Amino acid sequence: MYCADDSTWLIAEHVGEGIIRLLESTGRERLLRLPPGHQSGGGLQLSPDGQRLAVVHSSRSISICDVSACRETAYLTRDASLFNALAFSEDGRRLAVAADSPVVSVWDTDTGRVIVDLRTHSNKVTAVAFHPRGDRLLTATSPDGTVQQWDLRTAREVEPPYDRHEGEVKAMAYSPDGQRVASAGVDRAVRLWRAEGRQDEAILHGHTRSVFALAFSRDGRRLVTSDEGGITHLWITEPDATLPVLRGHTSYIYPVAFTPDGRLIASGSWDGTVRLWDAASGKAVAVLPQGGIVRTLAVSPDGRRLVTTIEGTDALRVWDVASRRLVATYKTPENSSFAVAFRPDGSHVAMLGTGNIIRILDAATGKEVATAGAGQVAVRWALDYSPDGRLLAGPYEGNKVGLWETESYRLVGTLADHSGMVLSVAFSADGRLLASAGTDSLIRVWDVASKECRLTLRGHADEVFAAVFHPDGSRIASGGRDRQVRLWDTATGEELVRLSGHSNYVYSLAFSPDGKTLVSSSGDTTLRLWDTEPLRERFQTRRTAESLPPKTW
């Protein structure tokens, strides 16, 4: 084991019964001999300053040794069959010890006495880590994989447990400023989250085996992680490099969409507004008052227009994206619309409302040019044009997907395998596949030409409100009432990753045109951006975007 301090380091290793070799970066080598009967052979733990060494014995005890003097200074004994984890405080004066019991003991390394016992909710504690100030402690428990934060003065938790890992947590650490926590384990995901409030800042994917060790750099800008396959990753973790959570709406957020150039994100909410966000920095750039609950919105293929519908009104509103001004209002027969979609050539807007009729409007004039019957449908959005504009997909008779050709809007096919209402439909970028999702908690992937179901994706615990294809067609993102965003392999149907962070249902999803970012909207009043490119590239992209003056938009 080693303790690094810029250019200096120290390695401690067992070389014999009761003998430990200390090797310094200067090349100096010393032997530390333990008292008779204190046989070593277990784990070793160096304090952050390299001045103390904890030696675990097979006799349910721990020796605390002074590295400079090469002698034992304290001897800790505990009724435990196995010590699972050790951690020194920054100054080396405290040692946290976790064993096969619900209790974590914090010892005074000078006196060898217990300062405080912390009683966790599990029978096994797998990892411990001190706050840089030394007054708080992280504990991870098995098998539920929760991480708890404790005040060592009161022996009470200071935050509810962090419970977003999908298995045992094996490593964790506070950032040097104590504001963030990194945790990882058997689920292979490295999670970076705020110590206060437990909000996720980043979920780092790349390991293919369990992660057992991690550490922040001294400036907190980088994180190193190692897995059981011998792979080590170095991550950029400075706060500005991670993706932001977009806050500003004051009620449920329903629709969300990127502009075709990927620079803006549009979101609609029950708070009666549509907000436009800078997709690179996450900053709000405009608020468009709507006067009611925004059920749906769509951006025109050329990115110049934004259309919105308001619950309880009989109008389709058209906004100029550049000027942020309302430029037209088209009256419709229904008093609410649940879905709206632009034809890829920008000529038509399809709307689905309370009358269970799909109405096709001329995008330039608002005049109705065609209709199509959808039968009974749910009060969620579900319309999408194929990329070539020849087909329109939407809900049909509740639990089916209808396909209409777009010359006369005649029904040309139905896809019928869902056992509940269809809530979402989306074509792949090449138009060969269609994804549908609904109240039966399933995502079905259809071959459009043969109208056969190729895959059924199972994993969500409740209604699935959204399922969208990645631009390259290799993945599908889905989200719903269970608050999870999931990514699936389109070829095999395998679940690739589960993204947690929202505290309420996930209502809508959209990939950026380049596929590097996924945005999710939620009933928790936030939008979350999920990264699909390295944080280094994301950091540079945001810095470049933020350096551009507004007029360059």
Class of domain 245-548: mainly beta
**What 3-state DSSP class applies to 38?**
coil
Which is more confidently placed, 519 or 189? 519
- Please tell me the distance from the alpha carbon of residue 435 to that of residue 27, in angstroms, as a whole number: 63
- Structural fold of domain 10-241: Methylamine Dehydrogenase; Chain H (2.130.10)
Q: Convert the pLDDT of each residue in 213-265 to its tens digit.
A: 999 988 888 899 999 998 898 887 765 555 678 999 999 999 999 999 999 99
Residue 492: CA count within 13 A, CB half-sphere: 5
Residue 93 pLDDT level (bands cut at 50, 70, 90): very high
What is the 8-class DSSP label of residue 161? P
Backbone angles phi, psi at 254, to 5 degrees: -100, -85
Alpha-carbon 152 to chain mean position: 30
Token pair in block for residue 238? 């400075």
Establish whether domains 10-241 and 245-548 are of one fold. yes
Rounded distance between C-alpha atoms, residue 205 and residue 291, angstroms = 41
Q: Lowest-pLDDT range, 45-49, 176-180, 184-188, 252-256?
A: 45-49
Which residues have CB under 8 Å from 552's CB, separation 6+? Answer: none
Percent of the chain whose pLDDT exceeds 90: 55
Average pLDDT, the chain: 87
DSSP3 helix / strand / coil % (the chain, rounded to 5): 5, 50, 45
β-pairing, 325-331 vs 315-320, is: antiparallel
**Of the ranges 286-290, 383-387, 485-489, which one carries the lowest mean pLDDT score?**
485-489
Opening angle at CA 195, ends 192 and 199, nearest 5: 60
Neighbours of 147 (CB within 10 A): 25
Q: Quick one: pLDDT at residue 356?
A: 79
Q: What is the pLDDT of residue 549?
A: 45
Separation of CA 547 from chain center: 27
Quick one: tokens of 362?
């001329």
Residues 11 and 481: their CA atoms lie apart, in Å, by 51
Statement: residue 547 has pLDDT above 60: no
pTM of the full structure:
0.62
Task: Tell me the CB-side half-sphere exposure of residue 479, using CA atoms within 13 A.
Answer: 31
β-strand 83-88 against 94-99: which pairing, if any?
antiparallel
- Between CA 43 and CA 487 the distance in angstroms is 39
Residue 270 tokens, joined: 């029950």
Confidence of residue 380 (pLDDT cuts 50, 70, 90): low
**Strand pairing category for 305-310 and 294-299:** antiparallel
DSSP SS3 for 245: strand
Domain residue ranges of the chain, discontinuous segments joined by +: 10-241, 245-548
Give the mean model confidence (pLDDT) for residues 372-389: 79
- Tokens standing for residue 218: 């001294």
Report angle CA 169, 175, 177 to the nearest 5 degrees.
150
pLDDT digits (tens, 9 = 90+) for 23-38: 887 888 888 888 776 6
